[in-house]
Each structure stands twice: as structure tokens, then as C-alpha cells.
């Protein structure tokens, strides 16, 4: 099998400080036959078009992270997906459309495919106040999210015909992200740079996916933080990978690296404030080992607190400005959430339609806004 990977990254577009942005890390690999038939070639072309568009929407209007393995499987009647990240399109071209792709992507994120979802869907109603509140923001105070064992409505995109406008697709993404946050107790918290107080360098990811202190102007130091679980811990994401203790080690001196997020305690950290009066400076204590993240000259390690405490202290910084000076970031600042215009009820909408429901381009997307990288 040959594998073509398509990574679509939505770059940040901010229009005013009151509005905000999202920047998801959803990506996919379309698995192809080494010698595809004419039928397979046609299917691959259609699937690529709809997946590119679906991923673009998820990355523009959410902070979700997911890697999806996509297959063309003629024996599948329609399309199907599971929470392990596998997504299959059958041979019926009527299902090779953007709404169907987005519906199946929601399944890969646990909607209708997880025990957490099953426990929340009771007697045909999704029993979560925050999710219901999000739907009411979109559709008014009388709106209610309904569900069955596998599906939600409205905005579940259970049939392609449910998508009457691009706004319906956007609302789907917003609702799926809210459901994901509530089911798995994970939510986007902050993004920027983590600067070590002692070295003034920032935590960054190397080309070999390792970690090391770097100049804070390096784009490899851009990170996201997510809250996870109860009591609240945090995970640090660099691109599509998370800060990780190799082999789940609890030993002192182990060099930290990155790995795909798997929910383990070795990838979660507690924040311990250095000073209660300044919430932007803190220690990072790894949940599993109980050790602290320390910045060395060339690497990051987990250690007990010994020696210069400032080597264990981290400061939240906003992205460097054009004059290459980093600025402090206070947790009390409002983090941007969506790019583009906002509707009257606070839900973003697309001012220009970019593609039709089969993924065909309607208007060329500026290259500065999206980058597509293809590796074979």
C-alpha cells in the first residue's frame, strides 16, 4: 500500500481583539493501492477533495487534534468510522461529500462511538448542560440536542441534505468540539510560548521530535495548552504531538520528548504557582512521576526540585511581536477563539463560500491562509 499524507494547517487570522481564532491539528492519511484501478483513482480524487474541505473546516473552527486513517472500501455500504481514527468510504459516490466526511470525523472523536457518549445520551436527549447551552447560542432558547446510540441532531450531519448552508457545517464543528470537551474533560486553555525563567529560552520541538530550549522567536516554540481531567491537569501540545515522558518513566533525570497524545498520566502536568499574585509563572509537575520539568542547556528533564529553582520555572508568553521582543501573557487575558465575522449570537460565519459540498473549489483560498503539504 502507498500512503499519501495530507496535512492542512489553518493559519491564524485575527481581525480585532474582541474576536478570536482557532487552529486545529486535524490531519489525515489516505491509504492507496500501489496500482490503483480506474475506479480507485476516481474514488481517491473525490475523497481527497471532500476530506481536504472537511479538515479545513475542523481546523479553522476548532482546536481539536486528531489523526485519521482514511480508506476506500467498496464493501462499505455508505461510510463508517470508529474512535480509533479509521474512516472508510464505500463505493457509493453519493456519500463522498463534505457533510458525510464531517459526520464520520465526529465519530472518530467519540461522538456515537465512546462509552462516555453512551453514558451522556439518555432517553434520546444529550444530558450535558454546557453542550445544550452551546446549541441554544446557535438556535435559540428552545433548542435541544437529541441523540441515539450513534447520532446527534441537529448539526449531526446524519444525512448530507441536512447541510443547507456552510454555516450548518461550521455549527457542526463547534458543537462537536463542545461535546468532545465535555465527554473527555479536555478543553483548549492557552497558546503561545513557555519561557524558562532562568535561561530566557522557550520550550521547543526539534526536527527529530525531541524537546530543547530554543530562542523564543523560533516558530518551533509555539505551543498549545489544554486542560484535562478532574482534578484539572494540563497537557502541552507542539504541532500534533504532546510533551511526553518516554516509556512512562518515573525516574529522575529522564530526558523528555514528544509523542502522540494517549491520555496517560506521563503526558499530563499540574501547574504549581511560584507566586499566588502572578498566575503566569509556575512549575510544571508531571502527574505520574511527581517530578518537575527542568530546562537544561540542551534538553528538558524531569527532576525533583533541587538547586536553582528558576530552572524549573516557566512563564507564559504571547507570540513575539514583529520587533522580535516577547511579551508577558497574563492568564486573565481573553484568548482569541474564532477568525472571521461573528453573527449576532456569537457564532462565526463564513463571509465567502470556499467550496461546494463535494469539496470542489468555489473560490481560491489565499496561500497565506492555508498550506497543504503532501508527502509520499
Residues 210-252 have pLDDT tens digits of 999 999 999 999 999 999 988 899 999 998 899 999 999 999 9
Q: Pull the grid cell for residue 146.
A: 437529541
Q: Is 168 exposed, middle or buried (0-12, 13-18, 19+ CB in 10 A)?
A: middle
What is the rounded distance in angstroms from the CA atom of residue 273 to the CA atom of residue 313? 9
Secondary structure of residue 345 in the 3-state scheme: coil
DSSP string, 230-277: TTTEEEEEETTEEEE-GGG---TTPBPEEE-----GGG-EEEEEEETT
Nearest to 348 by CA among 176, 181, 173: 173
Q: Pull the grid cell for residue 325.
A: 521582543
How confident is the model at residue 100, as a pLDDT?
97
Alpha carbon of 280 to those of 44, 140, 203, 235, 329: distances in Å?
A: 47, 37, 15, 16, 7
- Mean pLDDT check: name the lowest of 4-8, 96-100, 280-284: 4-8
Per cent of the chain over pLDDT 90 is 69
CATH class (in words) of the domain with range 186-328? mainly beta
Nearest to 109 by CA among 47, 184, 190, 170: 184
Residues 69-87 have pLDDT tens digits of 999 999 999 999 999 899 9
Kindly list the domain boundaries of the chain, sorted by start residue: 2-184+340-375, 186-328
In DSSP terms, 217 is beta-bridged to: none
What is the rounded distance in angstroms from the CA atom of residue 339 to the CA atom of residue 318? 18
> Which is it for the CA torsion 138, 144, 148, 149, positive or negative?
positive
How confident is the model at residue 359, as a pLDDT?
57
**Global pTM value:** 0.69
* Secondary structure (H, E, C), 69-114: EEEECCCCCCEEECCCCEEEECCCHHHCCHHHHHHHHHHHCCCCCC
Residues 167/350, Cβ–Cβ less than 8 Å: yes
How confident is the model at residue 307, as a pLDDT?
85
Estimate to the nearest angstrom the gap between the alpha carbon of 267 and the chain centroid.
16
Amino acid at each position: 500500500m502507498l500512503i499519501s499524507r495530507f496535512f492542512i494547517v489553518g493559519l491564524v487570522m485575527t481581525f480585532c481583539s474582541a474576536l478570536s481564532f482557532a487552529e486545529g491539528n486535524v490531519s489525515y492519511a489516505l491509504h492507496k493501492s500501489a496500482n490503483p484501478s480506474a475506479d480507485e483513482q476516481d474514488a481517491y480524487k473525490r475523497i481527497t477533495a471532500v476530506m481536504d474541505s472537511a479538515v479545513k473546516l475542523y481546523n479553522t473552527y476548532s482546536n481539536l487534534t486528531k489523526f485519521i486513517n482514511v480508506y476506500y472500501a467498496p464493501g462499505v455500504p455508505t461510510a463508517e468510522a470508529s474512535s480509533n481514527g479509521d474512516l472508510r468510504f464505500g463505493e457509493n459516490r453519493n456519500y463522498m461529500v463534505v457533510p458525510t466526511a464531517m459526520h464520520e470525523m465526529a465519530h472518530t472523536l467519540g461522538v456515537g462511538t465512546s462509552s462516555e457518549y453512551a453514558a451522556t445520551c439518555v432517553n434520546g436527549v444529550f444530558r450535558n448542560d454546557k453542550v445544550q447551552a452551546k446549541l441554544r447560542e446557535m438556535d435559540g432558547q428552545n433548542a435541544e440536542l437529541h441523540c441515539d446510540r450513534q447520532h446527534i441532531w441537529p448539526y449531526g450531519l446524519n444525512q448530507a441534505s441536512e447541510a443547507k448552508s456552510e454555516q450548518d457545517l461550521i455549527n457542526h464543528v463547534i458543537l462537536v468540539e463542545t461535546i468532545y470537551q465535555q465527554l473527555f474533560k479536555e478543553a483548549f486553555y492557552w497558546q503561545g510560548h513557555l519561557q524558562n525563567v532562568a535561561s530566557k529560552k522557550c520550550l521547543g520541538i526539534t526536527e527529530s521530535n525531541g524537546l530543547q530550549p530554543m530562542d523564543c522567536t523560533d516558530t518551533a516554540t509555539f505551543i498549545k495548552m489544554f486542560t484535562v481531567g478532574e482534578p484539572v491537569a494540563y497537557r502541552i501540545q507542539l504541532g500534533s504531538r504532546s510533551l511526553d515522558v518516554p516509556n512512562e518513566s518515573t525516574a529522575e533525570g529522564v530526558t523528555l520528548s514528544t509523542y502522540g497524545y494517549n491520555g496517560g498520566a506521563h503526558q499530563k502536568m499540574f501547574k504549581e504557582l511560584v507566586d499566588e499574585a502572578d498566575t503566569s509563572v509556575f512549575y510544571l509537575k508531571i502527574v505520574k512521576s511527581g517530578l518537575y520539568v527542568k530546562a537544561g542547556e540542551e534538553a528538558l528533564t524531569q527532576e525533583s526540585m533541587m538547586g536553582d529553582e528558576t530552572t524549573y520555572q516557566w512563564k507564559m508568553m504571547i507570540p513575539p511581536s514583529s520587533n522580535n521582543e516577547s511579551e508577558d501573557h497574563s492568564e486573565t487575558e481573553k484568548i482569541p477563539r474564532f477568525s472571521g465575522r461573528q453573527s449576532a449570537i456569537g457564532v462565526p460565519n463564513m463571509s465567502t463560500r470556499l467550496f461546494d459540498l463535494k469539496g470542489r473549489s468555489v473560490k481560491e483560498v489565499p496561500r497565506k491562509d492555508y498550506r497543504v503539504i503532501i508527502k509520499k
